[in-house]
Amino acid sequence: MINFTQEEINLICMYDTAGRQELHRQITYSIPIIEDSDLKALAQSVLNKLERITDAEFDSMELIPSVAPEDLEE
């Protein structure tokens, strides 16, 4: 099984995660408009990993975003 980093999971959670192929399509369409080079590289990394897993593997993933404490409102 391919392991996704927490940063990659956070990115994935910004999109419709109903299916691997739809997620791949959405990220593919987003890449040309992403201006930040680090974010673009992260999106490309997610795409590469999505291409190497099956739909069943994707469906079994626990997609739980993490939030840094400083991002939480008090």
Q: What is the pLDDT of residue 1?
A: 73
Are 24 and 50 contacting, i.e. CB atoms less than 8 angstroms apart? yes
Q: What is the pLDDT of residue 73?
A: 62
Query: Average of pLDDT values for 41-49?
Result: 97
Residue 27: how many CB atoms within 10 A of its CB? 20
Residue 50 identity (one-letter amino acid) = L
pLDDT tens, residue by residue, 2-42: 899 999 999 999 998 889 999 999 999 999 999 999 999 99
Residue 63 identity (one-letter amino acid) = L
Are 43 and 26 contacting, i.e. CB atoms less than 8 angstroms apart? no
pLDDT band at 67 (very low <50, low <70, confident <90, very high): confident
